[in-house]
Amino acid sequence: MAEDKLSRVNRRSITKLMIAVVCMFGFAYALAPLYYAVCEALGIGGRTNSVPIVEVPEGMQKDEDRSVLVQFVTRSAQGMPWDFEPMERSVRVHPGEIKAVNFRVRNRTGEDMVGQAIPSLVPGQAAPHFKKTQCFCFDQQPLVAEGEEVMPMIFYLDPAIPRSVTTITLSYTLYDITERARAGEVAARQAP
Amino acid sequence: MADHHEHHAPTGWRRWLLSTNHKDIGSLYLWFSFAMFLVGGLLAMVIRAELMYPGMQVVDPDFFNQMTTTHGLIMVFGAVMPAFVGLANWMIPLMIGAPDMALPRMNNWSFWILPFAFAILIGSVLMSAFGPGNPPAPNFGWTFYAPLSTTYGPASTDFFILSVHLMGISSIMGAINVIVTVMNMRAPGMTMMKMPLFVWTWLITAFLLIAVMPVLAGAVTMMLTDRHFGTSFFDAAGGGDPVLFQHIFWFFGHPEVYIMILPAFGVVSAIIPTFARKPLFGYASMVYATASIALLSFVVWAHHMFTVGMPLAGMLFFMYMTMLISVPTGVKVFNWVATMWRGSLTFELPMKWAIAFVILFTIGGLSGLMLSITPVDFQYHDSYFVVAHFHYVLVSGAVFSMFAAVYYWLPKWTGVMYDKFWGEVHFWSSLISVNLLFFPMHFVGLAGMPRRYADYALQFADYNWWITIGAFWFGISQLFLLWVLIKACFLKKGEKATDEVWEGADGLEWTVPSPAPFHTFDTPPVVK
């Protein structure tokens, strides 16, 4: 085989392989949205709805035959100096019943801060049936120095929730996002 | 064999630094990986010294974590992977009748990146060990799970990220080189299904590298931007998810374990037929089995993370797919045994290592099958049973196959036979100590000893004492190999090797003189 013919063939192979490398690098990034899409589609990962449900399905019936115990667990992430607790540790609800619960937060520091609560729910198969119409976790929670606040959360259980689910534990972890929120404000102000 | 190329060969340090010769670059890779094997082994000795007795004696727990982390990284990326790349450099052109690798300058670059990558990684360990007050070296385990490596990662994590990027670039370039060489530079008449199995396994390995090393690069880049540039891929506070990290990591990580073992299959498939004096049993099935293992490796990653909380369907899928891998692997083991069946067996050192590989790798494979069973994995997860499993497949698997390869091809590389006495000592000493080292780990693991801790409950004390004895013994045994190599490579002492070297050997590499001259196959051989 002539030298230059070989190098032409080689160059073509290298180009193809480099394209594969770049695609696989992109694929690693594509895995992130893919992961959330799969979790959302299969209702796994304990993720509850991240935007409020604005309309309760018409003709939703309260299922008086059964009830589910919903427990609340709260935690402040490491380095988050806020007190954070549910005002009721647990409630018993019928599927289809709309329920409101409250959480109390207190900023223990002498500085204005912004927090963000992240929910997680077990068992995972109950997550798609746990519908929040209002939740503090949909927004950031700014709190002035030494400030205290009661944060509401309103939810219902979709009557289609499997009968095997008798207890649901909803956990919230509160993170300090003061820095990030401040950076976001600056960006917002710069925008036209 | 004086030929017109000889006057091109540079001498001194320029020969090595500027080398574009596949044999010289192969030797650089092999020596580099052996050096890393000794460094990684030294770190393992620190781990085992601390674990010899319960309680804290030698190092503090944070330093212990740095040892487990860097031991894993150095052994995987510094010892096993470069060793096989070195072997590919040396042997693939000789096996397919090509004058050199297709891309010699890239070959040079892909090797010379490595010493810098490891200087950065090892530098962070040295700074931590000898500079009081310095931040610790990476201490989050070789799997660098977020948030340990993001939110809680020490400052040296950024060194680690750069180092992994460099290793990745090196591996990708090496893989491209192998694929281009094998695809375009085979001697006339060398069809794909006539290629030696070592070339086949490396070709498939190279495709795996192309597919997953960029994913690893993506993972560490996400870590970097999470740490410093305000993204939240793995940070729940910003809407990310640490479990996503595990998915991305193991999407790379599982094919990675086959990257480390497929070339080993190729080596053993070359050695066993030679000393059984029979052609390899089931050549085509070997090729298909290798390809099946490679394809399956992309759909089993979540078996590393059964305990994160997956839906039942997911666990079943990953369990069945994982179990399925044992079918092509079983085909391979069956073929090796069938090759030996009624062969005229002799037990020269390469054959001894190869047989030890087949037996011990199968033990590791069986414990892997146990780990694939989801409900059982819940108990075994993160225990010493896992440590026993992957050391059986990687040490008495991949590393033993490297030893087999070194003893098998050393006479071709150096022109002299290895020192048989010290070679035998190396073999028997390693064989006994490796089992003393890793077998009891199955027991302590099943009894509940977790991995990655600097201390353990008292009831594990006796086993751990024996494991540490095995570890030091195995470590010292490798110095015998160092002597064998020095004697053959530098002192050139030993029985002169013939061109064929082994009576039953088959393949183009045995048609060139021993030692293999600087340039071979300037005119391609014709394969019938």
Q: Does B212 touch chain A (CB under 8 A)?
A: yes
CATH of the domain spanning B22-511, picked from 3.50.50.60, 1.10.10.10, 3.20.20.140, 1.20.210.10: 1.20.210.10
Query: Cβ–Cβ of A44/B311 closer than 8 Å?
Result: yes
Q: Residue A45: its pLDDT value, please?
A: 66
What ranges make up the beta strands (E) of B57-104?
none
**Partner residue opposite A13 with nearest CB, options B180, B222, B239:** B180
- E strand or H helix at A132: strand A130-135
Residues A150 and A72 in one domain: yes
Residues A105 and A179 in one domain: yes
Q: Does B237 touch chain A (CB under 8 A)?
A: yes
Q: What is the mean pLDDT of residues B281-307?
A: 96
Q: Which of B78, B36, B81 is nearest to B212 (CA)?
A: B81
DSSP 3-state assignment of A175? strand
* Residues from chain A contacting residue B311 (CB–CB below 8 Å): 42, 44, 124-125
Q: Distance from A145 to chain B by nearest Cα, in Å?
A: 21
Rounded to whole angstroms, the Cα distance separating B103 from B260 reads 23
**Partner residue opposite A175 with nearest CB, options B185, B219, B237:** B237
Rounded to whole angstroms, the Cα distance separating B431 from B439 reads 12
A6 falls within a domain: yes
Query: Cβ–Cβ of B237/A183 closer than 8 Å?
Result: no
pLDDT at B55 over 60: yes
pLDDT at B239 over 90: no
Residues A38 and A80 in one domain: no
Query: Cβ–Cβ of A29/B222 closer than 8 Å?
Result: yes
Q: Are strands A113-122 and A141-143 parallel, antiparallel or unpaired?
A: antiparallel
The tally of domains found in chain A comes to 2
Residues A150 and A116 in one domain: yes
The tokens 């480390």 sit on which residue?
B260
Q: Residue B95: its pLDDT value, please?
A: 97
Residues A33 and A112 in one domain: no
* Mutant choice from B96, B100, B101, B103 vs A, greatest count of A C-beta within 10 A: B103
Q: Does B219 touch chain A (CB under 8 A)?
A: yes
Query: Cβ–Cβ of B244/A18 closer than 8 Å?
Result: no
Query: Cβ–Cβ of B241/A35 closer than 8 Å?
Result: yes
Q: In the beta sheet, which residues pair with residue A131?
A: A156
* Residues from chain B contacting residue A6 (CB–CB below 8 Å): 184-185
* Residues from chain A contacting residue B217 (CB–CB below 8 Å): 25, 28
Rounded to whole angstroms, the Cα distance separating B348 from B370 reads 34
The interface pTM score, or ipTM, of the predicted complex is 0.90
Residue B308 structure tokens: 């994160």
Query: Cβ–Cβ of A25/B215 closer than 8 Å?
Result: yes
Q: Residue B104: its pLDDT value, please?
A: 94
Q: Where are the domains of chain B?
A: 22-511
Query: Cβ–Cβ of A45/B241 closer than 8 Å?
Result: yes
Q: Which of B420, B416, B418, B423 is nearest to B515 (CA)?
A: B416
Q: Distance from B455 to chain A by nearest Cα, in Å?
A: 25
Q: Is B15 a catalytic residue?
A: no
DSSP 3-state assignment of A155? strand
Q: Residue A122: its pLDDT value, please?
A: 81
Q: What is the mean pLDDT of residues B290-310?
A: 94
Q: Is B142 a catalytic residue?
A: yes
Residues A85 and A139 in one domain: yes
Percent over 70 (pLDDT), chain B:
98
Average per-residue pLDDT for chain B:
94
Residues A127 and A32 in one domain: no
Per-residue model confidence as pLDDT tens for chain A (192 residues) = 556 777 889 999 999 999 999 999 999 999 999 998 887 777 676 677 777 888 888 888 888 889 999 999 998 887 889 999 999 999 999 999 999 999 999 999 888 999 888 888 888 778 888 999 888 888 888 899 998 999 999 999 989 888 889 999 998 988 888 887 777 654 443 333
Flag the least confident range among A6-10, B105-109, B384-388, B399-403.
A6-10
Query: Cβ–Cβ of B311/A17 closer than 8 Å?
Result: no
Query: Cβ–Cβ of A13/B215 closer than 8 Å?
Result: no
A124 falls within a domain: yes
Nearest chain B residue (CA) to A27:
B215
The tokens 């063939």 sit on which residue?
A9
Q: Is B202 a catalytic residue?
A: no
Query: Cβ–Cβ of B184/A35 closer than 8 Å?
Result: no
Query: Cβ–Cβ of B309/A124 closer than 8 Å?
Result: yes
Phi then psi for B93, rounded to 5 degrees?
-60, -40
Q: Is B70 a catalytic residue?
A: no
Residues A72 and A14 in one domain: no
A154 falls within a domain: yes
| Band of residue B7 on the pLDDT scale cut at 50, 70, 90 | low
Are A104 and A85 within 8 A, CB to CB?
yes
**Partner residue opposite B236 with nearest CB, options A13, A25, A118:** A118
Query: Cβ–Cβ of B103/A10 closer than 8 Å?
Result: yes
Residues A22 and A87 in one domain: no
Q: In the beta sheet, which residues pair with residue A68?
A: A93
Q: Does B180 touch chain A (CB under 8 A)?
A: yes
pLDDT at B1 over 70: no
Degrees to nearest 5, angle at CA A172 with A167 and A175: 170
* Mutant choice from A8, A10, A125 vs B, greatest count of B C-beta within 10 A: A10
Q: What is the mean pLDDT of residues B450-455?
A: 95
Q: Is B377 a catalytic residue?
A: no
Structural domain range at position A17:
1-42
Q: Residue A190: its pLDDT value, please?
A: 38
Q: What is the mean pLDDT of residues B279-294?
A: 97
What is the domain-level CATH number for residue A179?
2.60.370.10
Q: Residue A140: its pLDDT value, please?
A: 86
The tokens 């990591």 sit on which residue?
B249
Residue A60, amino acid: M
Nearest chain A residue (CA) to B222:
A29
Mind listing the pLDDT tens digit for each residue in B76-126? 999 999 999 999 999 999 999 999 999 999 999 999 999 999 999 999 999
Q: Residue B292: its pLDDT value, please?
A: 97
Residues A27 and A111 in one domain: no
pLDDT at B254 over 90: yes
Binding-site residues on chain A for chain B (CB distance < 8 A): 6, 9-10, 13-14, 17-18, 20-29, 31-32, 35-36, 42, 44-46, 77, 116, 118, 122, 124-125, 173, 175-177, 180, 183
Please state whether B138 falls in left (phi above 0), alpha (psi between -120 and 50) or beta.
Answer: beta
Question: What's the Rg (C-alpha) of chain B?
Answer: 23
Residues A92 and A174 in one domain: yes
Rounded to whole angstroms, the Cα distance separating A152 from A155 reads 10
Q: Are strands A113-122 and A167-176 parallel, antiparallel or unpaired?
A: antiparallel
Name every residue whose Cβ is closer than 8 Å to that of residue A176 and which is 6 or more positions away in sequence: A77, A79, A80, A81, A113, A114, A115, B237
Percent over 90 (pLDDT), chain B:
91
